[in-house]
Amino acid sequence: MPQAFSYYAAAQGPQTPRPALAGDHAVDVCVIGGGITGCSTALHLAERGYSVAVIEAETVGYGASGRSGGHLIAGYNIDQTAVARRVGADDAARLWELSEESLSLTRALIARHGIKCALTPGHVQVATRTRHLDILKEMAEEWTTLGRPGLELWDAPTTQAAIASRRYIGGLYDPGGGHLDPLAYACGLARAAEAAGARIYETSPMTAWQDGDPAIIRTPGGVLRARFVVLAGNAYLWGKERRLGRTIMPVGTYVTATAPLGEDRARALIPGNQAVSDLNFVLDYFRRSPDHRLLFGGRVSYSRLDPGNVAAAMRKTMLRAFPQLADVAVEHAWGGHVAITLNRLPQFGRLAPNVLFAHGYSGHGLALGGLAGKLAAEAVAGQAERFDVFTRIPHAAFPGGTALRTPLLVLGMAWHRLRDLM
């Protein structure tokens, strides 16, 4: 589904296109992918004095970086106890510290580079089932033990005063989370990288690459020879490099934006202007926009086939939470692919000593993508200790191979959808 349908693209307006790669060039680092990870990598490397070229198959922020719900969320897609079971207590502690850094880094980059992306504090995770209340309580205890300040565990009356929906019966408020316009943020990182000296080429898909020193990366119009390569294409690169494709799965996700509600009506939905997400496996998530719309996301497609009518399907989901919006039209509806891993933790690694990759954020890429770029830049500069905390996370291939893994995953997710209804 084209990015042009998104509210973010409409709000941003037409952008000056960047040139495609043409000719033969030599650089210190080639970054493949112009999303948050790629632009952050380019920015941090250019600031260190490296010559950097970014190639993007479409336009900056075209993928998940510019299409997401825009939520800044602490931690990972699984709880810290589960993280520790996979990597051990020491690395679990390091991963938590790095996730905390990802949030502070996001705020720092926005402030330092004057990125106008409507950064707003506050995130709430909400319960729709009684069993979710225990999960919220455990999460609050775990995060408090880990040092996350200001958490508030909300009962049903408090939650329903903060979110005008009877669907939600409890919540965990995190003042350190938040939300922003993800496309504006990605584009702001790109401009900052260019100001630091990086070059960004759009409409320049990688058609082939060859390992070596230098590595050789080819596009339809040019060739890059690079001492280092950073693969940052996430769900949109998995088919080009099959070694990466075994351990990530592109999953379709969808977001809508209502027509403007007016300030009073929008404020009444979420008076504190927090971002909100529920605890269902196939979760709903929503927030207010600066121009007083409701941005509502949810549904997933593990088959990579979009719903026949995204706007109608998402509007039906939105009205389950907010039936008072029955008279409100949906003006924008869009989708895109995020990359998930089997264990729902990010995957970092190397395909060769000078070829790094980072992807598979499993829904937490808005903050973690920026951190991944910083850590990749550190690794290129010879300081890989922090990057390698992520490389030690064990990852398994999705079962079924290239032919059967999608239908197997669809069957597995059907069970989780049924559980959400129980």
> What domains, with CATH codes, occur in the chain?
3-411 (3.50.50.60)
Residue 74 has pLDDT above 60, yes or no: yes
Distances (CA, A) of 256 to 280, 321, 378: 19, 14, 37
Residue 400 — very low, low, confident or very high, per pLDDT cuts 50/70/90? Answer: low
- Has residue 414 got a pLDDT over 90? no
For residue 300, what pLDDT is reported? 75
Structure confidence at residue 417 (pLDDT):
44
Closest CA to 240 of 208, 212, 215: 208
Q: Which of 23-37, 346-360, 386-400 has the lowest mean pLDDT?
A: 386-400
Predicted local confidence at residue 404, as pLDDT = 46
Tokens describing residue 421: 């209804």
Where are any strands of DSSP class E within 133-187? 152-154, 170-179
Each residue of 204-222: pLDDT tens digit? 999 999 999 999 999 999 9
Q: Where are the beta strands (DSSP E) in 36-119?
A: 52-55, 71-72
For 391, the token pair is 């490389």
Looking at residue 5, its pLDDT comes to: 80
**347-352 vs 355-359, strand pairing mode:** antiparallel
Checking if the pLDDT of 240 tops 70, the result is: yes
| 3-state secondary structure string across 306-338 | CCCCHHHHHHHHHHHHCHHHCCCCEEEEEEEEE
pLDDT of residue 421: 43
For residue 405, pLDDT over 60 is answered with: no
Residue 406, pLDDT score: 53
pLDDT score, position 40 = 98
| Residue 408 pLDDT class (50, 70, 90 cuts) | very low
Question: Each residue of 307-346: b (16+ CB within 10 Å) or e?
Answer: beebbebbbebbeebbeebeebebebbbbbbbbbbbbbbb
In this prediction, residue 415 carries a pLDDT of 37
| % of the chain at pLDDT higher than 70 | 91
Evaluate if residue 106 carries a pLDDT over 80: yes
Of 120-129, 201-210, 294-303, the one with minimum mean pLDDT is 294-303
Q: Are 181 and 194 in contact (CB under 8 A)?
A: no
**How many Cβ atoms from other residues are within 10 Å of residue 109's Cβ?**
22
Give Cβ neighbours of residue 126 (< 8 Å, ≥ 6 apart): 132, 159, 163, 168, 170, 171, 172, 276, 277, 278, 279
- The pLDDT, as a whole number, for residue 412 is 45
How much of the chain is in helix, strand and coil states, percent to nearest 5?
Answer: 40, 25, 35
Radius of gyration of the chain (CA): 21
Predicted model pTM: 0.93
Distance (Å, whole) CA 100 – CA 74: 7
Q: Which pLDDT value is given to residue 307?
A: 65
Residues 294-303, mean pLDDT to the nearest whole number: 81
Residue bearing the bigger pLDDT, 139 or 308: 139
The yes-or-no verdict on residue 4 having pLDDT over 60 is no
What whole-number distance in Å separates Cα of residue 157 and Cα of residue 246? 46
Does residue 407 have a pLDDT over 90?
A: no
In whole numbers, what is the pLDDT of the chain averaged over residues?
92
Which range (74-83, 88-97, 306-315, 391-400) has the least confidence? 306-315
The pLDDT of residue 165 is above 60: yes
Alpha-carbon dihedral sign for residues 407, 412, 413, 417:
positive
